[in-house]
Amino acid sequence: MTSEIQYEQGVGKVTRVRDDAVTAVMVLTWALLSLAAAFRWLGPGRDYFEYLYYYNNIPYQFALSDTRFEPGFHVVAWFFRNLLNVEYSVFALTIVAFSLGIKFYLMRRYLVHPILAMFTYIALFYPTHEYAQIRTAFALALGYGAIHLMFERRYLAGVVGFVVGFTFHYSVLMLSIVYFGAQYVRGRLAIIFLVAGLVFVSVFSDQFISAATDMFSAYNPLLKYYVSNSYFNEEVRITSLNNILPAAALFLAVFLGWFGYGRYHATFLTMSIASLVAIVLLSGSPVVAQRLKELLFVAVIFLVYRSPIVLRNLPPIVLIWANAALLLYLAFREGLLAI
């Protein structure tokens, strides 16, 4: 069976054979990684004990005031804990399997190189999302699914995806804002707006951050601590290697004309660039900066594997591979994953 995949590059359609082996590899990888995250095959990792304590102490009488977590996540956790009465590992398996399943499905359906996309995603994001921040992983699956529904002009379903994703992690609001902004501001205009925004926020950084913190602290009480850098002594730096590599990749993508490949490429290129702008704008609040980067930089997966890999487009992709290898190494070194 064959399927034609449009990737607006000015050279017509690309025909890709739907190899059953590709699907089998992705399904097997999905199952193994879901089980690994749920049953901690690669070590406890970060956030595990916090989630475990939260889940085991959910009271039987339902109330949103019982937790700082988002309401959608809390409703599902309460249902699994009190109505289904299952262990945390079963709940985590459900959340992670859904998250990875949606993302792998999007890669299989929309990308020319889904296997490469899958393994790049695993190296870049699996240790921090599915293996650690499971509600973020779930919310991003809904958010990026909503973006693709929007591309298919299924607008109502896309809005619902964004709204439900927001109830699992409030950062999906930023994902939707950047996505909608990228529909109107992209190409050279996007670069101008991002630079102008950088200058504006740099000049009015204290006022801007204070207003944003006051606005969103009602949703997450820990935001003030994150913004004030209460838990970390070091700032994130755009000059660190794990930011230089993707910055160089995106610079080359712009230089090579990827904005001209069509709406799909332009949208995800703009979102990827915005992820690094967040690092610059919020370098003094490393948790917020890093999480915004991780939220938006998932877009790079859909950017680099949408088209067939040819020699002209290879340099940015090689830099993304180098960044993936570096971050996977750091995940093991820093104990996020441990075997």
Which of 8-12, 81-85, 268-272, 335-339 is predicted with the least confidence, judged by mean pLDDT? 8-12
More confident: 20 or 111: 111
- CA dist 76 and 79 (Å) reads 5
For the entire predicted model, the pTM comes to 0.84
Quick check: 11 pLDDT over 50? Answer: no
More confident: 241 or 162: 162
Which tokens belong to 98?
A: 């859904």
Quote the pLDDT of residue 217. Answer: 45
User: How much is the mean pLDDT over the chain?
Assistant: 82
Sole residue written with tokens 């919310």: 139
- Residue 70 contacts residue 170 (beta carbons within 8 Å): yes
Quick check: 232 pLDDT over 60? Answer: no
More confident: 194 or 160: 160
Give which of 120, 43, 58 is closest to 88, Cα–Cα: 58
Which tokens belong to 14?
A: 């690309």
Question: What pLDDT band is residue 6 in, cutting at 50, 70 and 90?
Answer: very low
Dump pLDDT digits (tens) for 182-203: 887 666 666 666 666 555 555 5
Quote the pLDDT of residue 121. Answer: 97
DSSP string, 206-235: HHHHHHHHHHHTTT-TTHHHHHTTTT-SS-
Quote the pLDDT of residue 292. Answer: 85
Q: State mean pLDDT over 15-35.
A: 85
Quick check: 180 pLDDT over 60? Answer: yes
Quote the pLDDT of residue 16. Answer: 52
- Angle at alpha carbon of residue 327, lines to 130 and 182, rounded to 5°: 75
Question: What pLDDT band is residue 10 in, cutting at 50, 70 and 90?
Answer: very low
